[in-house]
Amino acid sequence: MSKFIKNSHGIMGLTLSHIGLFIATGILLAAVGTVIFYNNWQRTEELHAIANSVSMLIQDMDARFFDNITMFQFPNKNYHYTFELSTEYIAMSAKGYWGHDISVKERFIINPWPRDRISNWTTGGDLHTYLNETYGHQGTKDDPLPMANLSEIDNDHETSVLFFALQPLKVRVHAPLYVEKVSIYDDTGGRHDFILVYQSI
């Protein structure tokens, strides 16, 4: 037995070294992989939470019985993320660890009307002013809009739906997002509600 202990040309020591190295490498790679997977998963869940908050805010606004406006402030994160919306969905994206792209989509139950700053009007107040200047009526309960003019507003809405389906509104996450319910009344006593989504700056 002593002759095997003194044998310095054996392979047993080398094999045990390699096995130990493989085990240590495996543990290290598993730990790194777990950290990356967890952080990407956590980032994805954070994006889902933001998109869901905006979607729920739009649903809540639609359920109100009167005109209203609410501001949504995007949370600050230690990473850059983007936010885009159309009349159908929200799309968010961010970079994961090691440059992986993370993307999240949330489909709306209630379809909003995105408004950008280059449009004829942006807010509900702007819309009433635009209607008054264009058609001579504000579209309020006391100053209803003729049905013929209302169809033009509906056409404008349909055009926006198509436009933002192809080119979603890019929202700046460092500025507030406003969700507003505005009602337009026609001269037959009908009420037409729109959920506007916009940024004022």
How much is the average pLDDT of 95-118? 86
Does the residue 193 lie in any domain?
yes
Q: pLDDT confidence of 165, banded at 50, 70, 90? A: confident
Does the residue 23 lie in any domain?
no
Does the residue 13 lie in any domain?
no
pTM: 0.79
Residue 96: the pLDDT is 79
Q: What is the DSSP string of 121-147?
A: --SHHHHHHHHHHHHS---SSSSPBPH
* Domain tally, the chain: 1
User: Which range marks the domain in which residue 152 is found?
Assistant: 28-198
Q: What is the DSSP string of 69-122?
A: EEEEPPPP-SS-EEEEE-SSEEEEEEE-GGG-EEEEEEE-SS--EE--TTSS--
For 12-66, how does the pLDDT look when each residue is reduced to its tens digit (9 = 90+)?
A: 555 666 666 666 666 655 555 555 555 678 889 999 999 999 999 999 999 998 9
Does the residue 6 lie in any domain?
no
Lookup: tokens for 46: 């954070």
Does the residue 58 lie in any domain?
yes
Does the residue 12 lie in any domain?
no
β-bridge mates for residue 102, sequence order: 94
Query: Which one, of 195, 194, 191, lies nearest residue 144 by Cα?
Result: 191
Query: Which one, of 58, 59, 67, 108, lies nearest residue 88 by Cα?
Result: 108
